[in-house]
Structure 1
Amino acid sequence: MDISEILSTKFTEFDIGTPLSKVAGAFENQELDAVVVTDGDEYRGVVSRRQLASSSNQPSAKVGSQAQHVPTVERTEDVREVARLMIGSDAKTLPVLDEERIFGVVTADAILEAVRPFLDAVTVEDAYSPKLVSTTPEATIGKALNVLRESGIAHLPVIDGDDLVGMVSLYDVIEFTTRGGSKSQGGSSGSFGGRGRSGGSHGGFGAREGDSDRMLDLPVRNLMSDAVVTVRRSAPLDEVVETMFEHEVSSLVVTADQTGDPVGIITKTDVIEALTWERDDRNAVQVFGLDLLEGMDYDDVSALIESVTSKYGEMSVIKASIELQEHKEQSRGVPLVLARIRLVTDRGYFTADGEGYGATHALRLAANAVERQLLKGKTYGQSKKQSDAESQEHLYGWWLSG
């Protein structure tokens, strides 16, 4: 199945010279995840809701300075390949190009809607994050914001004792501190950036420093949404997607079937990632853009990943995803390349970028960055279990026949 029937030719576009304050206003549209940045007719990148919410740029700054290079795809690209690119680049919206010009966009929501009927063979238990990062009603909003940013997440359940009492998101906090402190109606926004109900976020635009500081000292209970959407650990993923769309949220708190206690969280990212699992070889190293490497082949890349992960004790690599993206900028005829490494291990997630002239140089810089993370023990969440062989066959039978 390709993306020709699910891509959208309607997208929000800004020239590189547009002030970020104007771009921020576009995200008042809760359906909008990212905007396209262009220079005349030339595509330059995207700026996402989450990226803008996490930044602290002045409103007079230009959007071109924040344009993010994400993978671009063709109209006939396979859905599963697009899912892989989304996971590898941590992007929820990918541009669709036609002869180097922007033609449209494909979103994670469009993919999830298309594949929902085929997700009944995989359960929440196969895909969710069993580590539940949370906060308490009495914690300060500032502390919650630190947890959100340090953990690389956008949604934070609020737990009082043993009870799940609320949810707060990165967008709730930004909205609260930049709009004068009125209580959000927020929802739980997923790792890709959210469709929460708290309104658009403005990355710190317009906040007076003193007022913002005082609001960050308020307790989380002043901000949290009382409505928390949950799902049973044994529920199939098609039910997860249906619930997310119904409640317009991007994450669900996972509860134990028998006790109802919160045991983890599942996001749209997790469901998209389930589409990228390898049926036959779950430990395979996936390389996107292998043809860009000079003097290295697939075996060399696999050996590099093994050498990086073998230095730091017992670690089982579930999946390694490497993406190489070439930019137009060159130095002495050598193109600038972005290399992104994403490791899913039994000790958690590790992800890092490297940018250099030549793919081999960029890849080694990214590998060095991953090594530093391993040394510090810095992870981006717990690893996921993989579904059993029968479920994999059901899920991938569709991919192979589509």
Structure 2
Amino acid sequence: MDISEIVSTQFTEFDIGAPLSKVAGAFENQELDAVVVTDGDEYRGVVSRRQLASSSNQPSAKVGSRVQHVPTVDRTEDIREVARLMIGSNAKTLPVLDKDRVFGVVTADAVLEAVSPFLDAVTVDDAYTTKLISVSPTTTMGKALNTLREARIAHLPVIDNDELVGILSLYDVIEFTTRGGNKSQGGSSDEFSGRGGFGERDGTSDRMLDLPVRNLMSDAAATVQRDTPLDAVVETMFDQEISSLVVTANQTDEPVGIITKTDVIEALTWEREERRPVQVFGLELLDEMDYDDVSALIDSVTSKYGEMNVIKASIELHEHKEKSRGVPLVLARIRLVTDRGYFTADGEGYGATHALRLAANAVERQLLKGKTYGQSKKHPDTEEQEQLYGWWLGA
């Protein structure tokens, strides 16, 4: 199955010199996940809704300062490869190029809608994140925002005495803290701080961050049981216009985890064979290393953490047009999913090998500090993998 039927030629485009405030205005359209950034006719990258909401943005900042380099795909790319690239780059929108120009975009929602009919043989139990990150109704907005930042997630279930009472969205918190009061001129901020954005407010912001989560949370938190097929999960997400469901035990209403659109997309990346623990996108850019060398590098980095099981390592290499003495500038991104949490780091340098080693050094520093960016997912056993591979490869 390729993406030729799900590519959208309707996309929002900004020049690299446009002010970020205009991009923020574009995201008033709640269905828009990312905008394409160009420099004349040349594609430069994307800016996503989550990326913009998660960063401190000066009023005078330009789009180019927030460009995210994500993989591009062809109009006939295999849908599973698109899913792998989305997971590897942590992006929900990928540009589709035709003769080096942006022809359209393919989104995670389009991928999910296309594969939904084939998801009936797989259940939530195969794909959900087992350790639930949550807050209580009395948690302050400031602490909740910090939790969203540290875990790099967009939704926080609100639990009171083991009962799910609501859910809090990153975007709701950002909008609440940046638009709920009178704005003053200028102001810088820390990432995810809730202060700043496009102009920092005065003391009103601090008072808002001290308010309890119950003041902003949505009472209508959708749930799903572990034995629910994934096609029903996707249908619920589309019907209710949400991107996550809190997972409850089959016999009780006790919250036991969460499943997101990203979790379902990631399920599409598994292979029938024993999954390689290290996935490399752009391996052909490495002229001094092969797959075994990359695996050895990851083993060397992760072995310094102690007792840790690496469930999956994802490496993405993206080549820029900029060169130095004929050597292209390359962005390397490493993402580790482990039983101790989720680690991610970037490295940028001339030559893929140099960029990869810089990224590996950055991940190693995180590992040694024990600094995680999320919670580990359930690792499917052999029987579960066979169940999943059967529906997908037979489609």
- Taking structure 2 as the reference length, the TM-score comes to 0.93
Q: Which residue of 2 aligns with 1:16?
A: 16
Deviation at 1:386? 4.1
Deviates more, 1:208-217 or 1:224-233: 208-217
Question: In structure 1, how many angstroms separate the alpha carbons of the residues matched to 2:336 and 2:140?
Answer: 33
Which of 236, 257, 267 in structure 2 is aligned with 1:264? 257
Q: How many residues align?
A: 384
> Measured at CA, do residues 284 and 162 of structure 1 come closer, stay the same or move farther in structure 2, by a change above 3 Å?
closer
Q: Secondary structure at the match of 1:68?
A: coil
Q: Deviations over 1:48-100 (max 9, x none)?
A: 00011111112221112211111000111110001011001100000000111
User: In the alignment, does 2:143 pair up with 1:150?
Assistant: no
Q: Which residue of 1 aligns with 2:179?
A: 179
Question: In structure 1, how many angstroms separate the alpha carbons of the residues matched to 2:196 and 2:70?
Answer: 20
Deviates more, 1:202-211 or 1:74-83: 202-211
Contact 2:2-2:79 within 8 A present in 1 as well: yes
- Taking structure 1 as the reference length, the TM-score comes to 0.91
Q: Deviations over 1:298-341 (max 9, x none)?
A: 11111111111222222222222111110111112111111111
Question: In structure 2, how many angstroms separate the alpha carbons of the residues matched to 1:385 and 1:216?
Answer: 33
Question: In structure 1, how many angstroms separate the alpha carbons of the residues matched to 2:276 and 2:371?
Answer: 21
Question: In structure 2, how many angstroms separate the alpha carbons of the residues matched to 1:224 and 1:204?
Answer: 21
Q: How does 1:29-178 map to 2 (within 5 A)?
A: 29-178=29-178
Contact 1:126-1:384 within 8 A present in 2 as well: no
Q: Deviations over 1:205-238 (max 9, x none)?
A: 2451322122111111111111100000111111
Q: Deviations over 1:24-71 (max 9, x none)?
A: 111111110000111111111100000111111122211122111110
Question: In structure 2, how many angstroms separate the alpha carbons of the residues matched to 1:380 and 1:218?
Answer: 25
> Measured at CA, do residues 138 and 394 of structure 1 come closer, stay the same or move farther in structure 2, by a change above 3 Å?
closer
Percent of paired sites with the same residue: 83
Deviation at 1:394? 5.2
Contact 1:55-1:204 within 8 A present in 2 as well: yes
Q: Which residue of 2 aligns with 1:224?
A: 217
Which of 364, 370, 376 in structure 2 is aligned with 1:377? 370
Q: Which residue of 1 aligns with 2:189?
A: none
Q: How does 1:234-313 map to 2 (within 5 A)?
A: 234-313=227-306
Deviation at 1:181? 6.2
Deviation at 1:345? 2.1
Deviation at 1:137? 1.2
Contact 1:96-1:103 within 8 A present in 2 as well: yes
Contact 1:89-1:340 within 8 A present in 2 as well: yes
Unpaired stretches in structure 2, ≥5 consecutive residues? 183-193
Contact 2:88-2:281 within 8 A present in 1 as well: no
> Measured at CA, do residues 398 and 138 of structure 1 come closer, stay the same or move farther in structure 2, by a change above 3 Å?
closer
Unpaired stretches in structure 1, ≥5 consecutive residues? 183-200
Q: Secondary structure at the match of 1:209?
A: coil
CA RMSD of aligned residues (A): 1.9
Q: Which residue of 2 aligns with 1:209?
A: 202
Q: Deviations over 1:158-209 (max 9, x none)?
A: 1112221111111011111122269xxxxxxxxxxxxxxxxxx997224513
Q: Which residue of 1 aligns with 2:327?
A: 334
Contact 1:320-1:341 within 8 A present in 2 as well: yes
> Measured at CA, do residues 268 and 281 of structure 1 come closer, stay the same or move farther in structure 2, by a change above 3 Å?
same
